[in-house]
Structure 1
Amino acid sequence: MPHSDTALPVRLDRRSATPLAVQLADALRESAATGHLRGGDRLPSTRALANRLGVSRTVTSAAYEQLHAEGWIAGRHGSGTYVTTSPPRDRPARGLVIGEAPARPDLLDLSPGVPWADGLDRAAWRRAWRAAADAPPLSRAHRAGLFDYRAVIAEHLLRHRGLPAGTDSVLATAGTTAALIEIAGAIFRPGDVIGVEEPGYQRAVQALTSIGLKTVPVPVDGEGLRPGAVPRGLRAVYCSPAHQYPMGSRMSAARRVQLVERARAEDFLLIEDDYDGELRFDVAPLPLLAALAPDVVVHLGTTSKILTPTLGAGWMVAPPKVAAAVLEYRDRVGTRPSPAGQRVLIELARHGDLGRHLRKLRRELSERRSMLTGALYDSGIPVLGDDAGAHLVVPLNSAAEERDKVRAAEAAGIRLDHLGRHFAGIPTAYGIPLAYSGCSRDALAGALDTLVRLLRPGVIHKSPVG
């Protein structure tokens, strides 16, 4: 039965990033799936539909060509274009990737984990990518990573973290979480128990449990992880001693020695996540656990917090048996860290841009932290965390107070994190991890009065009506 084109429920959003032809094909497909169009119905000509929708004929022709290729419509010589059949009505709807939260670009995001990417020198960034592209394409993957990249990391670790690791001791990774999965797959077995900081980095916890390992929480306090609270029978302890995430404390020297002694005596591995260890503002960056005990410590680092996640590049320095097991694991499962980001970092280091950026980054984040802590202290708002990194913590009294602050902040146009999210079990501490690296300095300064009003102790915010 012929179908009138004026009855087609087609609406195109010219502000959407989705091409108009794709929108049109989706709308026609959906009309067929919901029964508005049925097999045998005739569609309007591409010219008539283009006129009705106010688009070029190129758009309607492209949409029809797509649906024709998929088999949903067919042309009849001298008669027109017809719907041949209908897609199943219960087909999955196209939407966001599972686990992705809808973006809210209208909110000022002060949640931790976002680097100061705007601080990268764009000329240096472009130069590094152009130089990286000049290298010939690889015909074979490098399972340990590019030699020049590993040499750059060895120099970086010696200069900025005090770790004397030779080039042959460094393995390239795709970041700390990817490295953690590789370590787990290479040397642990399903059911092995790993100690993790509580509160701590929940992405690491999920990575470990997703491959069949068990995790047990180890509490932290103002001196970092508590070695005396580490239970017996573990295969490893995952920790962030230089700048505990999310509380911001550093593990004391005495605790470092105690933890190393227990690891050696009880034969478990220490996995050191040094996600932003380069970023100290009060003293020189603290020595690594890997420098203290290279025989029982796997050191993990990343470019994601000091540069940008764009590179997808990190590193690992591990005891020889662990490194060999990781390389064998890569051969077995066919994974390799991508060399593209490695090549860019090589070029940034070669021209001195990496060192210049780190000096600039420390100076900028130190000034931002001082600006933020000054405003909070002046208003009687307490702050937790060392003079380091890219976030601090404002302590609160309860989960209800956390929820109140987060909701009030969102109503005021600010996205805040809360400590409850960083516990695998029942939270025992409450507060707001407050980041200062993912926005502009002007935006941060402009939000200070609002933050002070929102975070002042004892202030309860009424939820907006409706």
Structure 2
Amino acid sequence: MPTALPVTLDRDSGIPLAVQLADALRSSAAGGHLRGGDRLPSTRALARRLGVSRTVTSAAYEQLHAEGWIAGKHGSGTYVTTSPPSDPPARPAVADEISEPDVLLDLRVGTPWAAGIDRAAWRRAWRAAADTPPLTHAHQAGLPEYREVIAEHLLRHRGLAVGTDSVLATGGTTAAVAELTAAVLSPGDLVAVEEPGYQRAVRTLSAAGLRVVGVGVDTEGLRTAAIPAGARAVYCAPAHQYPMGSRMSAARRVGLVERARAEHMLIIEDDYDGELRFDVAPLPLLAALAPDVVVHLGTTSKILTPTLGAGWMVAPSVVTSAVLAYRERTSIRPSPAGQRVLVELARHGDLGRHLRKLRRELAERRALLATALREAGIPVLGDDAGAHLVVPFASARAERDRIEAAQEHGIRLDGLGRHFAGKPDTFGVAIGYAGCSRDALRRALDVLVGILR
């Protein structure tokens, strides 16, 4: 029997004494102070030692016995049955917990300019969202006020006139793709995707048992003529192809829509950063050109922050009905918290002000980076839009060498190779310029140019 049990009871605590005692003994056994085979005092003796009633110690022992920590032996007493492992295994780290070396500058693609969000407006939106009454039932399509805000946003910033009933809230682009695969598509369906393209969406489609085939892109976007016959759907980013940065030409848009209608093919339009154009107004959305065959997807992750976990879907009624039926069956639906925050940002005009500021800031950063590269004779690909540009190379080795050289200087670059589902046939680096500060980008320019030259 241990000479002293590490038990301290707090009579002023709101936690029952029996619970405190059980917790203390359990912790002692888990931590090694008590080991398997140790004999515990009787409930009567322990009650006297702690100055509590026997009801307290009996209740604690009953709880530990039910959990398997202790066992009673007839005529002998109560014993600890479980010892802690001699060398407990390390808790495996999740991806975000994996430590990375210090970097001077992270220029990988996909990080938004979260530092540019007005903090006073951000706090005000969260406070106002918290003041709304808790929901008593779920809104399968999303909060009505959120859908109204998105309809207004699409009209004002993307030229798409839709009714609130045509808008569904989503948890973001990848979550929306997952819902479409479950509600609209079927295992074995053939789906065409851009190559290179957004691999999270590609992996989501593949994981659902769909047959995914990559279709190349060029300076006019997706090579629509190369979409294989029999495709049930095509996933593309026509406004600003990810990651090459091209814009689908008007001729290809018309051709894609004509094929979709003739072959009963669904077009999934990913408009992940369509609000961020700096040279001319973007071409109209495919959803405006052909609302009968296009599912339009948008997200707040690139224009604001992934914190909100909020996106939207505009689709033909047969698609929205199928998605709503899927949500009803599974109870899987986007969280309303981020929706409420976006509503408050829009209500006070903060969303519009942020987008105007964001366009100005990213336009200046792109000009700074593109000018420095071109003056050094380094080619730059991609439309004057979004939050990244591409520097092409002739080979996989050249791409790898530049990424490794940048890493040695504390700069993280994003190779095109990881954006292919199949074997890469285009090489280079995609440089994101939104996640860092403009001063940090300017300070690193000479080093970056030297590496890429």
TM-score by length of 1: 0.81
Q: 1:28 to 1:356 in 2, by over 3 A?
A: farther
Instruction: Find the aligned partners of 1:325 and 1:215 in 2 and give their Cα distance.
Output: 22
Please name the residue that 2:164 is paired with: 167
1:405 to 2:390 alignment: no
Q: 2:92 aligns with which of 88, 91, 95?
A: 95
* CA displacement 1:345-398 (0-9 Å, x = unmatched): 111001000000000000000000000011111111111000000000010111
Please name the residue that 1:254 is paired with: 251
The 5 Å alignment of 1:189-204 reads: 189-204=186-201
Is contact 1:160–1:285 with CA below 8 Å preserved after alignment?
no
Instruction: Find the aligned partners of 1:286 and 1:175 in 2 and give their Cα distance.
Output: 23
Q: 1:223 aligns with which of 200, 211, 220?
A: 220
Q: CA deviation at 1:102?
A: 1.8
Is contact 2:29–2:82 with CA below 8 Å preserved after alignment?
no
Instruction: Find the aligned partners of 2:394 and 2:34 in 1 and give their Cα distance.
Output: 58
Q: 1:258 to 1:364 in 2, by over 3 A?
A: same
Higher Cα radius of gyration: 2
Please name the residue that 2:303 is paired with: 306
Is contact 1:196–1:239 with CA below 8 Å preserved after alignment?
yes
Q: 1:91 to 1:191 in 2, by over 3 A?
A: farther
The 5 Å alignment of 1:33-432 reads: 39=36, 85-87=82-84, 93-97=90-94, 99-100=95-96, 102-104=98-100, 106-107=102-103, 108-432=105-429
**Percent of aligned pairs sharing the same letter:** 72
Is contact 2:169–2:310 with CA below 8 Å preserved after alignment?
yes
Is contact 2:28–2:34 with CA below 8 Å preserved after alignment?
no
Is contact 2:29–2:83 with CA below 8 Å preserved after alignment?
no
Long gaps (5+) in structure 2: 4-25, 40-63, 72-78
Moved more, 399-408 or 290-299: 399-408
Instruction: Find the aligned partners of 2:28 and 2:96 in 1 and give their Cα distance.
Output: 24
1:197 partner SS:
strand
Q: 1:210 to 1:278 in 2, by over 3 A?
A: same
Instruction: Find the aligned partners of 1:28 and 1:222 in 2 and give their Cα distance.
Output: 66
Instruction: Find the aligned partners of 2:387 and 2:28 in 1 and give their Cα distance.
Output: 45
1:410 partner SS:
helix
- Specify the code of the residue in structure 2 equivalent to 1:176: T
Instruction: Find the aligned partners of 2:243 and 2:28 in 1 and give their Cα distance.
Output: 45
Q: CA deviation at 1:303?
A: 0.4
Instruction: Find the aligned partners of 1:110 and 1:88 in 2 and give their Cα distance.
Output: 44
Is contact 1:277–1:286 with CA below 8 Å preserved after alignment?
no
Is contact 1:279–1:285 with CA below 8 Å preserved after alignment?
no
1:238 partner SS:
strand
* CA displacement 1:176-203 (0-9 Å, x = unmatched): 1100111111111111111000000000
Q: CA deviation at 1:87?
A: 3.9
Please name the residue that 2:76 is paired with: none
1:328 partner SS:
helix
2:246 partner SS:
coil
* CA displacement 1:296-316 (0-9 Å, x = unmatched): 000000000000000000000
Q: CA deviation at 1:295?
A: 0.5
Is contact 1:115–1:305 with CA below 8 Å preserved after alignment?
yes
1:341 partner SS:
helix
Instruction: Find the aligned partners of 2:300 and 2:450 in 1 and give their Cα distance.
Output: 35
TM-score by length of 2: 0.83
| Alignment RMSD | 3.0
Aligned length: 405
